[in-house]
Amino acid sequence: MLTLHHLEYSQSFRILWLLEELGAEYELKSYNRDPETNLAPDDYKALSPLGTAPVITDGELVLAESNAIIDYILDSYPDSTLDPAAGHPDRARHLFWYHASPGSLMNLQGIAMILNVLEMRSPWPISKLLGAVFGQARKLFLNPRTAALLDLMEQDLGKQPFFGGDNLTGADITLVYPMYAARDRGQFEGRPNILAWFDRIEAIPSFKAAVAKDDRPHIAFRFSE
Protein backbone atom coordinates (compact mmCIF):
# COMPACT_ATOMS: atom_id res chain seq x y z
CA MET A 1 0.00 0.00 0.00
CA LEU A 2 1.13 3.50 -0.85
CA THR A 3 2.18 5.78 2.00
CA LEU A 4 1.99 9.56 1.79
CA HIS A 5 4.56 11.28 3.97
CA HIS A 6 2.84 14.58 4.61
CA LEU A 7 4.74 17.54 6.02
CA GLU A 8 2.45 20.20 7.51
CA TYR A 9 2.17 23.49 5.55
CA SER A 10 3.99 22.07 2.56
CA GLN A 11 3.55 21.03 -1.04
CA SER A 12 2.51 17.54 0.09
CA PHE A 13 -1.03 18.89 0.65
CA ARG A 14 -1.46 18.40 -3.11
CA ILE A 15 -0.97 14.66 -2.82
CA LEU A 16 -3.33 14.43 0.14
CA TRP A 17 -6.05 16.09 -1.97
CA LEU A 18 -5.25 13.90 -4.99
CA LEU A 19 -5.58 10.69 -2.97
CA GLU A 20 -8.86 11.87 -1.44
CA GLU A 21 -10.23 12.87 -4.86
CA LEU A 22 -9.34 9.43 -6.25
CA GLY A 23 -10.80 7.64 -3.25
CA ALA A 24 -7.50 5.79 -3.00
CA GLU A 25 -6.48 3.47 -0.21
CA TYR A 26 -3.34 4.85 1.36
CA GLU A 27 -1.55 5.29 4.63
CA LEU A 28 -1.06 8.87 5.85
CA LYS A 29 2.02 9.68 7.91
CA SER A 30 2.05 13.28 9.12
CA TYR A 31 5.15 15.23 10.18
CA ASN A 32 5.41 18.61 11.91
CA ARG A 33 7.91 21.29 11.06
CA ASP A 34 10.63 22.05 13.60
CA PRO A 35 9.09 24.80 15.78
CA GLU A 36 12.40 26.71 15.92
CA THR A 37 13.60 26.56 12.32
CA ASN A 38 10.31 25.85 10.50
CA LEU A 39 12.22 23.22 8.50
CA ALA A 40 11.18 19.61 7.99
CA PRO A 41 12.29 17.35 10.87
CA ASP A 42 15.30 15.09 10.39
CA ASP A 43 13.20 11.93 9.91
CA TYR A 44 11.36 13.65 7.07
CA LYS A 45 14.57 14.87 5.41
CA ALA A 46 15.98 11.33 5.61
CA LEU A 47 13.12 9.90 3.53
CA SER A 48 14.41 11.07 0.15
CA PRO A 49 17.79 12.23 -1.20
CA LEU A 50 16.56 15.80 -1.72
CA GLY A 51 14.95 16.10 1.70
CA THR A 52 11.95 17.95 0.24
CA ALA A 53 8.16 17.47 0.55
CA PRO A 54 6.18 15.63 -0.79
CA VAL A 55 7.49 12.07 -0.60
CA ILE A 56 5.57 8.85 -1.16
CA THR A 57 6.74 5.31 -0.54
CA ASP A 58 5.25 2.32 -2.33
CA GLY A 59 6.98 -0.96 -1.49
CA GLU A 60 10.65 -0.41 -2.37
CA LEU A 61 9.94 2.81 -4.25
CA VAL A 62 10.64 6.20 -2.69
CA LEU A 63 9.42 9.04 -4.90
CA ALA A 64 9.75 12.82 -4.53
CA GLU A 65 8.72 15.77 -6.76
CA SER A 66 4.99 16.68 -6.76
CA ASN A 67 4.16 16.21 -10.43
CA ALA A 68 6.14 12.95 -10.64
CA ILE A 69 4.07 11.64 -7.73
CA ILE A 70 0.81 12.82 -9.33
CA ASP A 71 1.69 11.11 -12.65
CA TYR A 72 2.78 7.95 -10.84
CA ILE A 73 -0.45 7.72 -8.82
CA LEU A 74 -2.61 8.50 -11.87
CA ASP A 75 -0.96 5.56 -13.69
CA SER A 76 -3.23 3.36 -11.55
CA TYR A 77 -6.32 5.33 -12.67
CA PRO A 78 -6.02 5.36 -16.48
CA ASP A 79 -9.61 6.56 -16.99
CA SER A 80 -9.47 9.39 -14.47
CA THR A 81 -10.67 12.77 -15.75
CA LEU A 82 -7.87 14.30 -13.67
CA ASP A 83 -5.60 13.69 -16.69
CA PRO A 84 -7.58 14.51 -19.86
CA ALA A 85 -6.60 12.01 -22.57
CA ALA A 86 -4.75 12.90 -25.77
CA GLY A 87 -7.17 14.61 -28.15
CA HIS A 88 -9.50 15.85 -25.38
CA PRO A 89 -10.56 19.47 -26.09
CA ASP A 90 -9.08 20.56 -22.73
CA ARG A 91 -5.83 18.59 -23.20
CA ALA A 92 -3.50 21.48 -24.12
CA ARG A 93 -4.98 23.82 -21.51
CA HIS A 94 -4.60 21.14 -18.84
CA LEU A 95 -0.99 20.42 -19.87
CA PHE A 96 -0.07 24.08 -19.89
CA TRP A 97 -1.29 24.79 -16.36
CA TYR A 98 -0.09 21.45 -15.01
CA HIS A 99 3.48 22.25 -16.05
CA ALA A 100 3.24 26.03 -15.50
CA SER A 101 2.81 25.31 -11.78
CA PRO A 102 6.45 24.25 -11.20
CA GLY A 103 7.79 25.80 -14.43
CA SER A 104 6.47 29.34 -14.00
CA LEU A 105 4.49 30.04 -10.81
CA MET A 106 6.66 28.15 -8.28
CA ASN A 107 9.78 29.40 -10.01
CA LEU A 108 8.74 33.06 -9.68
CA GLN A 109 7.59 32.45 -6.09
CA GLY A 110 10.95 30.85 -5.28
CA ILE A 111 12.81 33.95 -6.42
CA ALA A 112 10.37 36.30 -4.63
CA MET A 113 10.70 34.23 -1.47
CA ILE A 114 14.50 34.31 -1.34
CA LEU A 115 14.60 38.09 -1.91
CA ASN A 116 11.96 38.67 0.78
CA VAL A 117 13.71 36.44 3.31
CA LEU A 118 17.12 38.06 2.70
CA GLU A 119 15.60 41.52 3.11
CA MET A 120 13.55 40.60 6.21
CA ARG A 121 16.42 38.88 8.00
CA SER A 122 19.08 41.54 7.43
CA PRO A 123 19.60 44.24 10.04
CA TRP A 124 19.07 47.91 9.23
CA PRO A 125 20.61 49.61 7.23
CA ILE A 126 21.53 46.56 5.13
CA SER A 127 17.83 45.69 4.82
CA LYS A 128 17.23 49.20 3.47
CA LEU A 129 19.93 48.83 0.82
CA LEU A 130 18.71 45.35 -0.16
CA GLY A 131 15.20 46.78 -0.47
CA ALA A 132 16.46 49.34 -2.98
CA VAL A 133 18.40 46.77 -5.04
CA PHE A 134 15.62 44.17 -4.91
CA GLY A 135 13.03 46.84 -5.73
CA GLN A 136 14.64 47.19 -9.15
CA ALA A 137 14.64 43.40 -9.68
CA ARG A 138 11.00 43.26 -8.65
CA LYS A 139 10.03 46.16 -10.91
CA LEU A 140 11.94 45.07 -14.00
CA PHE A 141 11.76 41.28 -13.84
CA LEU A 142 9.65 39.68 -11.12
CA ASN A 143 6.51 41.84 -11.09
CA PRO A 144 5.93 41.99 -14.88
CA ARG A 145 6.42 38.21 -15.24
CA THR A 146 4.15 37.47 -12.30
CA ALA A 147 1.50 39.90 -13.55
CA ALA A 148 1.54 38.28 -17.01
CA LEU A 149 0.99 34.88 -15.43
CA LEU A 150 -1.80 36.06 -13.10
CA ASP A 151 -3.49 37.94 -15.94
CA LEU A 152 -3.48 34.72 -17.98
CA MET A 153 -4.96 32.82 -15.03
CA GLU A 154 -7.69 35.42 -14.62
CA GLN A 155 -8.47 35.28 -18.34
CA ASP A 156 -8.54 31.47 -18.55
CA LEU A 157 -10.65 31.09 -15.40
CA GLY A 158 -13.14 33.51 -16.97
CA LYS A 159 -13.62 31.06 -19.84
CA GLN A 160 -13.76 27.72 -18.00
CA PRO A 161 -14.20 26.95 -14.29
CA PHE A 162 -10.96 25.05 -13.64
CA PHE A 163 -7.32 25.39 -14.67
CA GLY A 164 -7.76 22.01 -16.34
CA GLY A 165 -10.81 23.27 -18.29
CA ASP A 166 -14.39 22.11 -17.68
CA ASN A 167 -13.34 19.60 -15.03
CA LEU A 168 -11.01 19.55 -12.07
CA THR A 169 -7.69 18.06 -13.24
CA GLY A 170 -4.17 17.48 -11.95
CA ALA A 171 -3.47 21.07 -12.99
CA ASP A 172 -5.79 22.42 -10.29
CA ILE A 173 -4.40 19.95 -7.76
CA THR A 174 -0.75 20.80 -8.36
CA LEU A 175 -1.51 24.54 -8.43
CA VAL A 176 -3.29 24.42 -5.08
CA TYR A 177 -0.13 24.99 -3.06
CA PRO A 178 1.33 28.04 -4.84
CA MET A 179 -2.19 29.47 -5.27
CA TYR A 180 -2.82 29.50 -1.50
CA ALA A 181 0.67 30.89 -0.93
CA ALA A 182 -0.09 33.71 -3.38
CA ARG A 183 -3.56 34.39 -1.96
CA ASP A 184 -2.08 34.65 1.55
CA ARG A 185 0.09 37.49 0.21
CA GLY A 186 -2.90 39.28 -1.34
CA GLN A 187 -1.78 38.70 -4.91
CA PHE A 188 -5.27 38.07 -6.28
CA GLU A 189 -6.99 41.27 -5.19
CA GLY A 190 -8.90 42.64 -8.18
CA ARG A 191 -8.90 39.25 -9.91
CA PRO A 192 -12.43 37.92 -9.27
CA ASN A 193 -12.19 34.88 -11.55
CA ILE A 194 -9.20 33.58 -9.61
CA LEU A 195 -10.93 34.21 -6.26
CA ALA A 196 -14.00 32.33 -7.54
CA TRP A 197 -11.76 29.34 -8.30
CA PHE A 198 -10.93 29.10 -4.57
CA ASP A 199 -14.65 29.06 -3.72
CA ARG A 200 -15.17 26.35 -6.33
CA ILE A 201 -12.44 24.01 -5.08
CA GLU A 202 -13.33 24.58 -1.43
CA ALA A 203 -16.83 23.23 -2.19
CA ILE A 204 -15.46 19.92 -3.52
CA PRO A 205 -15.95 17.04 -1.00
CA SER A 206 -12.42 15.63 -1.58
CA PHE A 207 -10.89 19.04 -0.85
CA LYS A 208 -12.86 19.26 2.41
CA ALA A 209 -11.75 15.74 3.30
CA ALA A 210 -8.09 16.66 2.63
CA VAL A 211 -8.39 19.79 4.79
CA ALA A 212 -9.92 17.67 7.58
CA LYS A 213 -7.09 15.10 7.42
CA ASP A 214 -4.46 17.87 7.22
CA ASP A 215 -6.09 19.42 10.32
CA ARG A 216 -4.29 22.76 10.13
CA PRO A 217 -5.79 26.29 10.16
CA HIS A 218 -4.41 27.12 6.70
CA ILE A 219 -2.73 25.38 3.78
CA ALA A 220 0.51 27.03 2.58
CA PHE A 221 3.50 27.84 4.73
CA ARG A 222 3.51 31.48 5.89
CA PHE A 223 6.91 33.11 6.21
CA SER A 224 5.51 35.84 8.41
CA GLU A 225 4.79 33.38 11.23
Question: 2: left (phi > 0), else alpha (psi -120 to 50), else beta?
Answer: beta
Q: How far is the CB of 203 from its own copies (least distance, A)?
A: 28
Q: Which is nearer to its own copies, 90 or 211 (CB)?
A: 90
Q: Which is nearer to its own copies, 117 or 196 (CB)?
A: 117
**For the chain, first and last CA: distance in Å?**
36
Q: How far is the CB of 71 from its own copies (least distance, A)?
A: 5
Q: How far is the CB of 94 from its own copies (least distance, A)?
A: 9
Q: How far is the CB of 50 from its own copies (least distance, A)?
A: 5
Q: How far apart are CA 101 and CA 106, in angstroms?
A: 6
Using CB under 8 A as the criterion, which residues of the chain lie in contact with its own copies when the complex forms?
49-52, 61, 63-68, 71-72, 75-76, 78, 86-87, 91-92, 95-96, 98-100, 102-104, 106-107, 110-111, 114-115, 118, 122, 126, 129-130, 133-134, 137, 141, 145, 148-149, 151-152, 155
Q: Which is nearer to its own copies, 194 or 211 (CB)?
A: 194
Q: Which is nearer to its own copies, 34 or 75 (CB)?
A: 75
- The one-character DSSP state at 55 is E
Which pairs count as long-range contacts for 111-116, CB under 8 Å and 24+ apart, including other chains?
111/142, 112/138, 112/142, 112/146, 113/223, 115/142, 116/223
**HSE-CB of 142 using CA atoms within 13 angstroms:** 18
Q: Which is nearer to its own copies, 88 or 208 (CB)?
A: 88
Who's near 164: CB < 8 A, 6+ residues apart?
82, 84, 90, 93, 94, 97, 98, 170, 171, 172
Nearest to 65 by CA among 92, 90, 99, 91: 99
User: Residue 173: exposed, middle, or buried by beta-carbon count in 10 A (0-12, 13-18, 19+)?
Assistant: buried
Q: How far is the CB of 103 from its own copies (least distance, A)?
A: 4
Q: Which is nearer to its own copies, 20 or 156 (CB)?
A: 156
Q: How far is the CB of 214 from its own copies (least distance, A)?
A: 21
